[in-house]
Amino acid sequence: MKKRIAVLPGDGIGPEEVEASLSILQTVANARGHKIELKMGLVGWAAYDVYGDVMPPETWTLCEKVDVILFGAVGLPVRDAEVPRDLRPERRALLPIRKHFGLGVNIRPVRIYPGLEEMSPLKNKFIDGGLLLTFFRELLGGDYFGDKRRSPDGRSWAEDVCRYERPQIELIARAAFEEARRTGEKVTSADKANVLDATGAYWREVVTEVHDKEFPKVALEYALVDSLSANLVRRPKDFQIILSSNAHCDILSDEGGGIAGSLGLLPSASLNPETGYGMYEPAAGSAPDIAGKGIANPTGMILSIALMFRHTFRDDIAAQAIERAVEKALFKGFRTSDIATEPSKWVSTQGMADVIGENLELEIAE
């Protein structure tokens, strides 16, 4: 399979993570017979310094000509504060990319690896042996994209309209159920159907219809989002795949990251299943406080590449090889500073990528 990939390193630690991880992408593509064409581009403040725009026309043109985006991170708090919200990288680059390419399905696996239980704030008895939660977040609907208004005086009232259309819910529900059918896991659909009589009840209604008509053999349960939030820390192993709306799952997936103990280990994929277009990025953000120090954790980016092989290249063998290589590196005690404990083998950003790459060579050879 041949794919054109736009590589947008962005700001903060994004460039370091991307640079350390591209060899993983190339190694797996070569081993599995995939042809890839990498096109480098600028986004965020890195783009502004060259073009005077955090999402310049040159980057839009690049993204239009490729099949997939590998995205680092955008945003620098000091510089963000100097411009109006609508001109900040998240508002002018990240959200418009999602909307323009119809990336309505967001997948974020949250995993606690065996041996890293001490990173979690939860007691060991709740996570012993590791944990895997996969969050399916609807990414283009709800109050994030609804009409936004304030009273004429700007002080009396404000509203962000929460609107959901049937195709948006069907798309994310179908993606979650397809994953559950592949893995044999249970889906927990989270909503507020008890008080949100319009959108909450509608969400549950549409999810139920998709399940009953297309995926009747997949295990499905419903949960109120506030109750689920509590139960994720009380009994996290009771859950596997969590499906929810844009705002609700934004919160839940960050809670999952907190349970894991480090955002540096977390990948994500934003997909348009109808066109096949996708964007893959780590969950850690730009982390400018550690940028340029060579201590950022590239694991989230490398696991995002694994998601790329699974969902864009449709090559689960390649994805699993990367995931096993990461697991072996962690099992052997290699750690970047964000997850380092005693005793462990502290390595740099590139050092961690190199260790994972060495394990990957062995995985591919097998």
Give the whole-angstrom CA distance, residue 167 versus residue 154: 34
Which residue type is seen at 105? V
- pLDDT-based confidence at residue 116 (cuts at 50, 70, 90): confident
Catalytic hit among 67, 250, 315, 338: 250
Closest CA to 331 of 124, 116, 122: 116
CA-based end-to-end distance of the chain:
22
Q: Which residue has the tokens 């581009």?
A: 41
- pLDDT-based confidence at residue 8 (cuts at 50, 70, 90): very high
Mean pLDDT confidence for 234-238: 96
Task: Find how far residue 294's CA is from the centre of its chain.
Answer: 22
Mean pLDDT confidence for 276-292: 95
- How far, in Å, are 52, 312, 345 from residue 96 at the CA level? 18, 21, 41
Pick the CATH number of 121-260 from 3.90.226.10, 3.40.50.620, 3.40.718.10, 2.60.40.60: 3.40.718.10
Judge whether residue 340 has pLDDT over 90.
no
Give the whole-angstrom CA distance, residue 318 versus residue 33: 10
User: Catalytic site residue 250?
Assistant: yes
Judge whether residue 1 has pLDDT over 90.
no
113: number of Cβ within 10 Å? 19
Give the percent of the chain with pLDDT over 70.
Answer: 99
Catalytic hit among 160, 226, 238, 316: 226
Q: Which residue has the tokens 């799952």?
A: 249
Give the whole-angstrom CA distance, residue 58 versus residue 60: 6
User: Catalytic site residue 212?
Assistant: no
Domain coordinates in residue numbering, the chain: 1-107+262-366, 121-260
Average pLDDT, the chain: 96
At the topology level, CATH places domain 1-107+262-366 in Isopropylmalate Dehydrogenase (3.40.718)
Residue 111: both structure tokens together: 């995993």
Give the whole-angstrom CA distance, residue 300 versus residue 110: 10
Q: What is the pTM of this model?
A: 0.95
Same fold yes or no, 1-107+262-366 and 121-260:
yes
- pLDDT-based confidence at residue 343 (cuts at 50, 70, 90): low
Give the whole-angstrom CA distance, residue 99 versus residue 85: 18
Residue 345, strand partner residues: 334
Give the whole-angstrom CA distance, residue 345 versus residue 9: 27
Mean pLDDT confidence for 61-88: 96
User: Catalytic site residue 143?
Assistant: no
Catalytic hit among 192, 280, 315, 338: 192
pLDDT reported for residue 341: 75
- pLDDT-based confidence at residue 365 (cuts at 50, 70, 90): confident
- Digit-coded pLDDT (tens) for 130-176: 999 999 999 999 999 999 999 999 999 999 999 999 999 999 999 99
Backbone angle region of 321, left / alpha / beta, with phi > 0 → left and psi within -120 to 50 → alpha = alpha
Task: Find how far residue 197's CA is from the centre of its chain.
Answer: 30
Judge whether residue 227 has pLDDT over 80.
yes
Catalytic hit among 53, 143, 254, 328: 254
C-alpha radius of gyration, the chain, whole number: 20
pLDDT reported for residue 274: 94
pLDDT reported for residue 115: 81
293: number of Cβ within 10 Å? 13
pLDDT reported for residue 364: 84
